[in-house]
Structure 1
Amino acid sequence: MTSVSNDETAEQRRRRRAGADIKRALRELNNQVALLNNQVGSRVDLRPVDLDCLDVIALHGPLSPSELAHRAGVHPATVTGILDRLEKNNWVVREREGADRRAVLVRALPDRARELFTLYGGMNAAMDDLFDDYSEEQLATLADFLQRASAAGLVETAALAEG
């Protein structure tokens, strides 16, 4: 019976180490993506927070400024300055929404987005090369993990914001 207990303990240790390795790799990936984003932002004269907000708009837009503030984790007053800079440089447009002329939606402009796609082209190609090393099932597992990790991050961010 002792060997079963020892095997379980060894398995638990291996799982804990594997989990720690994944967390470390995610931290390293986060750092590398931040460095890449800084390089891209400097090429197109976007501050990191501006680039982050532009990405949120591109992924989830069109958005109201308050929804952008919420999704980007930026104070609503700060969003005004960010949107002013993005609009001035033709990254986004603010449009009045339908019947309520006071409501505004922010939409990313596709012409400027092409510049970003070009700058991220090398990373996208590198990712495509990485995908070739994995089966469809493994890619589905990776996508599931990343989606679930993102959802967990969203929950924890909300929890910290509340209190």
Structure 2
Amino acid sequence: MRELSVQLSLLNHQISAHFELRDTDFDCLDVIKRHGPLSPSALAKRTGLHAATLTGILDRLERGEWIARERDPHDRRAVIIRARRERNPELFRMFAGMNTALDGLLSDYTPDELELLADFLRRTAEAGRTATDDLVNR
């Protein structure tokens, strides 16, 4: 698991560097893409980052046109952050090599084996989220 984590971190580092993003900026962008739109406070809670740190990250992502800050339709005083979908093709191209490799790897498994692997990965991700939340809430 550690080797997988390291390799994926290195891949993400190369991709974030290509776009001249800091690793933490790229991580926040990924959280926004997966769980957004989010309020800045919800993003801070998910990432465990201090609000002042997050402000700088969001400023950089907005300048790079990766995100948009918009008024919350349910509370005009609040702001929500959404990922800008028009940048997705650039990201997809950068992950194409990994996606192609995974397609080849996964083709060796039966549907039942793929379900087992997917369940393991979901449960592993949840264990990681729980461990992270426990550290953030100490």
Matches within 5 A, 1:138-157: 138-157=113-132
Q: Deviations over 1:14-57 (max 9, x none)?
A: xxxxxxxxxxxx11011001111111011111110000000001
Q: CA RMSD in A?
A: 1.1
Distance 1:144 1:122 in 2: 24
- TM-score with structure 1 setting the length: 0.81
Contact 1:64 1:105 in 2 (8 A): yes
How far is 1:99 from its partner? 4.2
List structure 1 segments (4+ residues) > 3 angstroms apart after TM superposition.
none
Q: Deviations over 1:99-147 (max 9, x none)?
A: 4211111010112121111101110111111110111111110110111
Distance 2:135 2:15 in 1: 30
Distance 1:85 1:144 in 2: 36
Q: Does 1:67 align with 2:42?
A: yes
Higher strand share: 2
Equivalent residue number for residue 105 of structure 1: 80
Contact 1:91 1:113 in 2 (8 A): no
Question: 2:89 is aligned with what amino acid?
Answer: R
Equivalent residue number for residue 21 of structure 1: none
Q: 2:26 aligns with which of 48, 51, 63?
A: 51
- TM-score with structure 2 setting the length: 0.95
Larger radius of gyration: 1
Higher helix share: 1
Structure 1, unaligned stretches of length 5 or more? 1-25
User: With CA pairs under 8 Å and 6+ residues apart, which has the higher RCO, 1 or 2?
Assistant: 2
Q: 2:104 aligns with which of 126, 129, 136?
A: 129
Identity in percent: 53
Give the 3-state SS of the residue equivalent to 1:101 in structure 2. strand
Question: 1:50 is aligned with what amino acid?
Answer: D
